[in-house]
Amino acid sequence: MTAALTVQDLQAGVESAAAAEFFDSLPPIGVPEMIGRWRGSEVPSGHPMDGLLAVSGWYGKEFVDADHVHPLLFGEPGRLYAVNPKVMPIVTLNRLGERFPRWLPPGGQSAFRGLRTRKHRARLRPVEYRGVVSTAMVYDDLPIIDNFRKLDEDTLFGAMDLRGSDAPYFFLLQRDGR
């Protein structure tokens, strides 16, 4: 059994197998506990997508209710905007893996402003993942399910299950405004 890991441990990086084992040790979370806006950060684990969200300017996610979710928020507090994940090259970026540069040209993050949406692009549903039923975010238009477990009252550990990926992509969400 993996020892309890802290947010700092996870953000510093952990091997994929250890991250998965720690994820499995955490309790499930219900939809009502997830409502609100959450700031995201990556958990480097050797996944091909490690580093991509950080350089893109990803902020986090917003769960309005079970049927209304903004899965990708960008910008800064006071100037946040939702991006349509259908037009983001997530599946392609995963395939490119290590060959994809972990930087954007000057002003590159502002390119995502052109992908803004007001529509909610995901839903929350109970899903069995790795033997436990917990709340998951199901994307409307992509073969991706973000599975969540509760690290503490204000921190979620996420495992992105992307069709075609050999291992989950791990990330953290920390509640805004508490």
The sign of the torsion formed by the CA atoms of 96, 155, 19, 137 equals: negative
Q: With 60 as the cut, is the pLDDT of residue 149 above it?
A: yes
- pTM, 2 dp: 0.84
Please name the residues in contact with 45: beta carbons below 8 A apart, sequence gap of 6 or more: 13, 14, 15, 16, 19, 167, 169, 170
Min mean pLDDT across 72-76, 84-88, 102-106, 121-125 is at: 102-106
Q: With 60 as the cut, is the pLDDT of residue 29 above it?
A: yes
Q: Give residue 53's pLDDT.
A: 79
92: left (phi over 0), alpha (psi -120 to 50) or beta: alpha
Q: Give residue 104's pLDDT.
A: 45
Q: Give residue 111's pLDDT.
A: 47
Q: With 90 as the cut, is the pLDDT of residue 169 above it?
A: yes
pLDDT tens figures, 127-138: 999 999 999 999
